[in-house]
Chain A
Amino acid sequence: MQLRDFFTPDAIRLELESETKDDVLKELVSLLGLDEKSEGILFKMLKRRENLGSTGIGRGIAIPHCRSLVVNRLRVAFGRKREGIDFKAIDGEPVKHIFLIVAPPLEVSNQYLPVLGKIAQFSKEADIAEKLDEIESSGEFMELLAAKGA
């Protein structure tokens, strides 16, 4: 299983417009192409997860995630906010790179944990934050995943 198989160009936004954590979550959810009601339910679940503890893992990276009935398969999205936003991250630093993961409550192939693990592993590579800062297109994002074997 390769991480890059789950990303599509329309679910990658390198210039997020939002200025707050809530709005960033909404903007990322909007990349999944769900109907308005489903987007609202999903946002609420992501917020509930964030209320348990921030998914900002440090070094400018956050991985908001949840399971929800509103998706019929595992979905991922990536967003970048060059200026950074307050995500209440573990290290207190602003978050620039956000990976969204959403999976249905039951999956036949049970990919939720492996995908979460792979994104966490990818994010922990020493030069990844710098590389994510440099990419200029969704194609380069995919190339970066490939270069890292993800």
Chain B
Amino acid sequence: MHAQLELLLEMQDLRAQKRALDEQGLREVESDLFDIEPEEASKRIDEKLGELEDRLDPAVRQRFERLKGARERMVVPVVGGICYGCFMAVPTAWTSDAERNEDLDVCDNCGRFLYHLG
């Protein structure tokens, strides 16, 4: 897997973890069942996200920053040849490539980074 894609996936998952702390119901479960302090946890996730962002290559970071302002999700899965960010078909050459996640692909239509799900 492309090292920058791995980093982006980690960041996307961390953003999902942070979002879950704001999600109705999940916030209560994290707080009541697991004894998590949501504000403190959210702050720690932000710190980690900042650290990971600093490790992005300049060009990737530039695109990342651009997407961050406009999109909730910056990395999206490709399933069955469809970008799950904008639901447009991606080039078939990518979807048939056995080493699909070895490159850092972006969607021609919406510009999001693509993660090919097996």
Residues of A whose CB lies within 8 Å of any CB of B are 34-35, 37-38, 41, 44-45, 48-49, 51-55, 57, 66-70, 72, 90, 104-106, 112-113, 116-117, 120
Contact = CB atoms under 8 A, between A and B. Distances in A.
A55 B34 contact: yes
B13 A68 contact: yes
Interface residues of B, number: 34
Nearest to A70: B9
Contacts of A38: 118
Given A52-B36, A67-B20, A120 B13 contact: no
Contact of A48 (B6, B12, B14, B75): B14
Contacts of B75: 69
B2 to A, nearest CB: 10
A136 B12 CA distance: 39
The 3 closest A-B CB pairs, nearest first, are A105-B16, A67-B16, A52-B41
A105 B13 contact: yes
Contacts of B95: none
B81 interface: no
Contacts of B23: 113
Contacts of A66: 13, 16-17
Given A52-B36, A53-B34, A116 B13 contact: no
A49 B10 CA distance: 12
A128 B75 CA distance: 40
